[in-house]
Amino acid sequence: MGISKREMGIVVVMLTGVVLAVLNQTLLSPALPAIMADMGVDMWAAS
């Protein structure tokens, strides 16, 4: 018994998705106001 290659691949893909989601939240969220200001977009247009 153990983890098959397919199951390990699924786990790797899911963990990669979690890491990317965390990076998106931690890196993009603080930068978003500056990006919006540079592009001349208000909060309502961005959402």
User: pLDDT tens digits for 8-42?
Assistant: 999 999 999 999 999 988 988 888 889 889 999 98
Q: Is the pLDDT of residue 47 over 80?
A: no
Chain-centre distance of CA 47, in angstroms?
17
- Which positions ≥6 away from 11 have C-beta within 8 Å? 3
3-state secondary structure 21-46: HHHHHHHHHHHHHHHHHHHCCCHHHH
- Quote the pTM value: 0.62
Structure tokens at 7: 């199951």
